[in-house]
């Protein structure tokens, strides 16, 4: 509180200037009403009063225009000198309490300088008391110098200096304590106000995130509030699911290139190991990088990293990450704010995630429901056509057997055979799909000769139709694979049949098989309309059919079954296609034994 003393002394100077100025009329009155002055004493009294009036006026003006310790010292010296002059001038009056005026500068010294000032003034006025007693004895009768008067005056002056000085010190201490408490109270009020503002701002940010269940819209609103509350160079919200961490949302520097939304990494070894314990992690600088992800963040020019856990009850579901480009860029208040945001944001994030999962489930259910409806309609149509043909042919044979020639009878019987085979294939596909979904689709693994399998399928396709030319391109050195020959034949047969079905007349279907990097590739290439990019995933799903081009009969189960069989063999079924450029389906299988060379 030493810095407040000049202000307090300036206030005292101004108050003493008023008191000093008010004392001038009192001094004039007292000089005027006093009588019995010895020679030259009246003139001395008026001269002292004139000097007092002039000095009081000058000091009053100076106290209004300037402040400083020198002004206080000048005022104290002036007042002490004036009081001493009056005491000595009026020493001729016997029995008057004129010596008590010496108490006034003692009080003033205590007011300005504490106990040191009051004691100093008391000691400095001691010679005046001695001279006063000498003058008093000279004017009085008998002319006796009373030493006890001197010691009494000096003693009482020192006692008053001690008492008044102590009181002033106590008052100053009390004032300092009061000002300190007032300052602390103001500081606490300001801190409380800032914390209330921060809490309100954090609530606004959390409400912004909870304002919508659509992630993009909610995160955009959250970013607007957060950037005003706590500026950042990058912000991310990461969710933890088991041992996998996925970026739910990101904004700022490198948001679409480094750990973009939807990207995922293992939790193990990352900073999430600490966050999952419920701790706020503050990396004042990421140099040197302590976690694997920090290397990529440093390449973006980010230096400082603040991570707060997202708490839902006792469980940590992820983290809120804030980054800046300068090291040690976050304050203690921002650390507390980030921890608070983590608690407030977690519930909104959990709601968005639950809503998103439910929405995906509903969309999937709707899609499956639509597929099932299409399947029922499709199967109904696929069943009705061959059944109608079988029934029509059977009734014709039954009613006109004797009228028909042997060739006509054979033709009707062949029609019945073809259509019943078609019905059997349809039912087989439905049953196979059911078994795959139930996990009861059985396999019998042996060594399968891929070259022979491809030649057999191609030969069957050539015999079964004559509009499309099916050609085999098989490398002479293709290893056997370990698999179910009947199921693999089913896959290749399905691919070749589809290629023939969607190829125009006089087109070519090429079936190639060769070894590559320890695997066997069987590729079926057609010259049909191709498959649009948006349908290339759909056609491998149950009941999935491309909506582009000419619609062909089928259930949409063949490719689903083919891919399931390929994956059961440790392989895959891939598609490369573009509209109007045909399609190439590639069956990739791991080689099961040494290659076989054919002469």
Please report where in the chains the tokens 């191709």 appear, as a residue: 530
For residue 538, what are the CA distances in angstroms to 188, 501, 535?
A: 64, 19, 5
Residue 22 has pLDDT above 60, yes or no: yes
Across the chain, how many H-helices and E-strands are there? 14, 13
Q: Is 499 exposed, middle or buried (0-12, 13-18, 19+ CB in 10 A)?
A: buried
- Structural contact between residues 341 and 280, judged by C-beta atoms closer than 8 angstroms: no
User: Could you read off the pLDDT of 163-205 as tens digits, one per residue?
Assistant: 988 998 888 888 888 888 988 988 888 877 777 777 776 677 7
Please report where in the chains the tokens 């001695």 appear, as a residue: 130
Please report where in the chains the tokens 């200096």 appear, as a residue: 161
User: Could you read off the pLDDT of 355-384 as tens digits, one per residue?
Assistant: 777 877 888 778 767 766 666 666 666 667
What are the structure tokens assigned to 214, written together? 């659509």
pLDDT at res. 365: 79
User: Could you read off the pLDDT of 541-573 as tens digits, one per residue?
Assistant: 776 666 555 556 666 677 888 888 888 888 888
Taking the C-alpha atoms of residue 246 and residue 267, their distance in angstroms, rounded to an integer, is 9
Taking the C-alpha atoms of residue 38 and residue 92, their distance in angstroms, rounded to an integer, is 8
The residue among 315, 339, 317, 312 whose CA lies nearest residue 230 is: 339
Query: What kind and span of H or E run contains 516?
Result: strand 508-516
Taking the C-alpha atoms of residue 48 and residue 27, their distance in angstroms, rounded to an integer, is 10
Taking the C-alpha atoms of residue 482 and residue 592, their distance in angstroms, rounded to an integer, is 5
User: Could you read off the pLDDT of 232-264 as tens digits, one per residue?
Assistant: 999 988 888 888 888 888 889 998 899 898 888
The residue among 446, 513, 516 whose CA lies nearest residue 481 is: 446
| 3-class secondary-structure state, position 235 | strand
For residue 451, what are the CA distances in angstroms to 375, 521, 585, 599?
A: 35, 11, 17, 13
Q: Strands, DSSP E only, in 233-275? A: 234-241, 244-252, 264-266
pLDDT at res. 318: 87
Residue 124 has pLDDT above 80, yes or no: yes
- Structural contact between residues 56 and 24, judged by C-beta atoms closer than 8 angstroms: yes
What's the mean per-residue pLDDT of the chain?
82
Taking the C-alpha atoms of residue 10 and residue 64, their distance in angstroms, rounded to an integer, is 10
Written in H, E and C, the secondary structure of 57-80 is HHHHHHHHHCCCHHHHHHHHHHHH
CATH class of the domain at 446-597: alpha beta
For residue 314, what are the CA distances in angstroms to 242, 320, 343?
A: 16, 17, 11
The residue among 553, 557, 461, 542 whose CA lies nearest residue 509 is: 461
pLDDT at res. 543: 67
Lowest mean pLDDT among 413-417, 432-436, 482-486: 432-436
Please report where in the chains the tokens 């002490």 appear, as a residue: 80
- Structural contact between residues 430 and 379, judged by C-beta atoms closer than 8 angstroms: yes
Taking the C-alpha atoms of residue 277 and residue 271, their distance in angstroms, rounded to an integer, is 11
The residue among 581, 506, 505, 586 whose CA lies nearest residue 549 is: 581
What are the structure tokens assigned to 36, written together? 């019995």
What are the structure tokens assigned to 33, written together? 């009403």
What are the structure tokens assigned to 541, written together? 């799903």
CB burial of 139-150 (b: ≥16 within 10 Å; e: otherwise) equals eeeeeeeeeeeb
Percent of the residues in the chain that have a pLDDT greater than 90, as a whole number: 13
Side-chain half-sphere exposure of 291, counting CA atoms within 13 A: 20
User: Could you read off the pLDDT of 522-544 as tens digits, one per residue?
Assistant: 989 888 888 877 777 777 777 66
The residue among 57, 98, 59, 100 whose CA lies nearest residue 77 is: 59
Chain center to CA of 155: 75
Task: Say whether pTM exceeds 0.75.
Answer: no
pLDDT at res. 597: 34
Query: What kind and span of H or E run contains 312?
Result: strand 304-312
Q: What is the DSSP letter of 323?
A: E
The number of residues in the chain equals 599
The residue among 458, 553, 471, 468 whose CA lies nearest residue 504 is: 468
Taking the C-alpha atoms of residue 427 and residue 405, their distance in angstroms, rounded to an integer, is 33
Domains 215-360 and 446-597 share a fold: no
Taking the C-alpha atoms of residue 305 and residue 321, their distance in angstroms, rounded to an integer, is 7
Domains of the chain by residue range: 2-182, 215-360, 446-597
| CATH tag for 215-360 (out of 3.40.50.300, 3.20.20.10, 3.30.450.40, 3.40.50.1100) | 3.30.450.40
- Structural contact between residues 483 and 589, judged by C-beta atoms closer than 8 angstroms: yes
Report H helices in 66-146.
69-89, 103-124, 126-139
| 3-class secondary-structure state, position 182 | helix
Which residues, listed in sequence order, are joined to residue 71 by a DSSP beta bridge? Answer: none
């Amino acid at each position: 509180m030493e810095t407040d003393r000049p202000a307090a002394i300036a206030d005292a100077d101004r108050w003493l200037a008023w008191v000093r100025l008010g004392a001038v009329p009192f001094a004039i009155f007292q000089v005027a009403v006093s009588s019995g002055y010895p020679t030259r004493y009246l003139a001395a009294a008026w001269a002292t009063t004139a000097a007092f009036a002039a000095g009081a006026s000058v000091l009053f003006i100076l106290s209004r225009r300037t402040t400083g310790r020198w002004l206080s010292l000048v005022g104290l010296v002036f007042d002490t000198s004036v009081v001493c002059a009056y005491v000595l001038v009026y020493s001729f009056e016997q029995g008057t309490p004129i010596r008590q005026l010496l108490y006034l500068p003692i009080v003033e010294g205590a007011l300005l300088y504490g106990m040191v000032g009051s004691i100093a003034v008391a000691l400095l006025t001691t010679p005046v008391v001695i001279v006063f007693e000498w003058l008093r004895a000279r004017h009085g009768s008998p002319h006796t110098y009373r030493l006890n008067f001197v010691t009494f005056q000096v003693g009482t002056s020192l006692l008053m200096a001690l008492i008044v000085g102590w009181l002033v010190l106590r008052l100053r201490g009390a004032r300092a304590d009061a000002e300190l408490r007032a300052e602390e109270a103001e500081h606490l009020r300001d801190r409380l106000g800032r914390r209330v503002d921060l809490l309100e701002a954090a609530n606004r940010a959390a409400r912004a995130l909870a304002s919508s269940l659509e992630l993009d819209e909610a995160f955009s609103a959250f970013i607007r509030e957060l950037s005003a509350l706590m500026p950042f160079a990058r912000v991310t919200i990461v969710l933890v699911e088991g041992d996998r961490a996925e970026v739910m949302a990101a904004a700022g520097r490198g948001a679409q290139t480094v750990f973009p939304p939807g990207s995922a990494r293992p939790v193990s070894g990352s900073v999430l190991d600490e966050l999952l314990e419920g701790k706020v992690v503050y990396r004042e600088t990421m140099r040197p990088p302590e976690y694997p992800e920090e290397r990529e963040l440093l390449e973006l020019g980010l230096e400082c990293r603040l991570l707060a856990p997202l708490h839902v009850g006792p469980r940590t579901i992820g983290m809120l990450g804030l980054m800046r480009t300068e090291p040690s860029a976050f304050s203690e208040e921002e650390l507390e704010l980030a921890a608070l945001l983590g608690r407030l944001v977690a519930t909104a994030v959990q709601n968005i995630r639950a809503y998103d999962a439910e929405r995906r489930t509903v969309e999937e259910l709707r899609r499956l429901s639509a597929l099932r409806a299409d399947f029922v309609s499709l199967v109904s149509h696929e069943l009705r056509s061959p059944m109608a043909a079988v029934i029509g042919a059977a009734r014709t044979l039954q009613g006109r057997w004797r009228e028909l020639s042997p060739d006509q009878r054979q033709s009707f019987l062949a029609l019945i055979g073809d259509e019943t085979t078609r019905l059997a294939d349809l039912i087989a596909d439905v049953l196979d799909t059911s078994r795959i979904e139930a996990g009861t689709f059985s396999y019998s693994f042996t060594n399968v000769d891929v070259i022979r399998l491809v030649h057999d399928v191609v030969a069957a396709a050539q015999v079964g139709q004559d509009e499309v030319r099916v050609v085999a391109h098989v490398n002479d050195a293709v290893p056997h694979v370990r698999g179910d020959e009947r199921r693999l034949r089913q896959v290749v047969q399905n691919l070749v049949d589809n290629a023939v079905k969607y190829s125009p007349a006089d087109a070519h279907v090429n079936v190639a098989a060769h070894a590559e990097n320890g695997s066997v590739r069987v590729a079926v290439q057609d010259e049909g309309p191709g498959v649009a990019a948006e349908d290339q995933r759909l056609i491998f799903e149950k009941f999935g059919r491309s909506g582009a081009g000419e619609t062909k009969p089928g259930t949409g189960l063949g490719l689903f079954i083919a891919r399931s069989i390929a994956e059961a063999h440790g392989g895959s079924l891939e598609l490369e296609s573009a509209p109007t450029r045909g399609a190439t389906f590639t069956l990739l299988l791991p080689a099961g034994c040494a290659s076989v060379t054919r002469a």
